[in-house]
Structure 1
Amino acid sequence: MKHTIYYDPQDYISINKISLIGDFNNWNSGLNFLQKNEKGVWSTEIDLQPGEYRYKFLINNLIPLNDPLANLYLPKDDGELASVIIINSEGEKLINTEKYTVNIEKYHLSDEVHESTPKVHKRIFQQTTKRVVSRFEFTNVTGIHTISLLWFRPNGDFHYSSENILYTSEKEASKPTVMWFWLNLIGYEVPSGIWTLKLFIDGAFILQDSFTITTNTYSKMDQKFKISQTGAITDVVI
Structure 2
Amino acid sequence: MSLGKKFLKSKPICKVTFTVDKELAKDAVTVSLVGEFNGWETGATLLKKQKNGNFSVTLDLETGREYQFRYLIDDTTWISDPAADKYAFSPFGDCDNSVVAL
Normalising to structure 2: TM-score of the pair? Answer: 0.75
Where does the alignment leave 5 or more consecutive residues of structure 2 unmatched?
Answer: 1-12
CA displacement at 1:20 relative to structure 2 = 0.2
* Structure 2 residue 75 is matched with structure 1 residue 75: no
Change (3 A) 1:75 1:37: same
Q: Which runs of 5+ in 1 are unaligned?
A: 88-238
Distance 1:29 1:11, change over 3 A: closer
User: Structure 1, residues 4-52: CA drift from partner, whole Å, max 9, x if none?
Assistant: 1111031663200000001111110111010111111110011211211
Question: Is it true that 1:38 corresponds to 2:88 in the alignment?
Answer: no
> Measured at CA, do residues 12 and 5 of structure 1 come closer, stay the same or move farther in structure 2, by a change above 3 Å?
closer
Match of 2:60 among 43, 47, 50: 47
Identity, % of aligned pairs?
30
**What's the CA shift string for 1:73-117, capped at 9, x where partnerless?**
1113x2641000011xxxxxxxxxxxxxxxxxxxxxxxxxxxxxx
Matched, 1:25 2:38: yes
> Is the partner of 2:37 in helix, strand or coil?
helix
Contact kept in structure 1, 2:85 and 2:101, CA below 8 Å: no
Rg larger in structure: 1
Change in 2 beyond 3 A, CA 1:58/1:44: same
* Distance change in 2, residues 1:48/1:37 (3 Å): same
TM-aligned CA distance change 1:26 to 1:82, over 3 Å: same
Q: 1:117-196 to 2 correspondence within 5 Å?
A: none
Alpha-carbon distance in 1 for matches of 2:31, 2:25: 14
TM-score of the superposition, structure 1-length normalised? 0.34
Give 2:7's aligned residue: none
4+ long deviations beyond 6 Å: none
